[in-house]
Amino acid sequence: MSRISIVAMAASLAMASPVFASALYPGHALQNPVPPGARSKHKGGVVSATGSIIGGTGYSVSHDGTGEYTIDVPAGFFGSTCPVILVTPAGVASHAPIPDDFNYITCGGAGEVKMQIRIYSRTDGALEDNAFHFLMMVP
């Protein structure tokens, strides 16, 4: 390929890029001031094995028993929609634990969101204390 061909291809790709971008967001062609997801409500944090908050704000945690935790977000933050919740272990006590966002205790109706988290041992399935990260989000 000659240099002219390479320059011509590069120029055509540069010209086509805005076209591809406007195809992704046709209502905001080349002027997307707010990226997708920017309007979503989310709350996240890091919780220690003892149930104390390591990171994040605007929520509380109780350590209800071995491997059992309850995350509580005050009323009004998520509105009337229940958030999607993702839980992942943070560190490993003895082996990779299995986190489970077990059950909503309360959710919706502009009320508080309470979610029960359980963490299980990978070897015997018993509940075990372990730190975890969580993310709650309403798209």
Query: Strand (E) positions, 1-131?
Result: 41-47, 53-55, 60-65, 68-73, 84-89, 98-106, 113-120
- Residue 55: how many CA atoms within 13 Å on its side-chain side? 10
Domain assignments of the chain as residue spans, ordered by start: 1-35, 41-138
SS3 readout for 79-116:
CCCCCEEEEEECCCCCCCCEEEEEEEEECCCCCCEEEE
Query: Which pLDDT score is estimated for 64?
Result: 94
The domain 41-138: what is its CATH number?
Answer: 2.40.30
pLDDT attached to residue 16: 47
- pLDDT value, residue 48: 93
Reported as a single tens digit per residue, the pLDDT across 82-122 is 888 888 888 766 667 788 777 777 886 667 888 898 888 88
Mean pLDDT, each 10-residue run in order, the chain (139 residues) = 53 50 50 58 91 94 94 85 85 71 74 87 86 87
Cα Dmax for the chain: 71
Give the C-alpha separation, 61 to 84, whole Å: 18
Name residue 25's amino acid.
Y
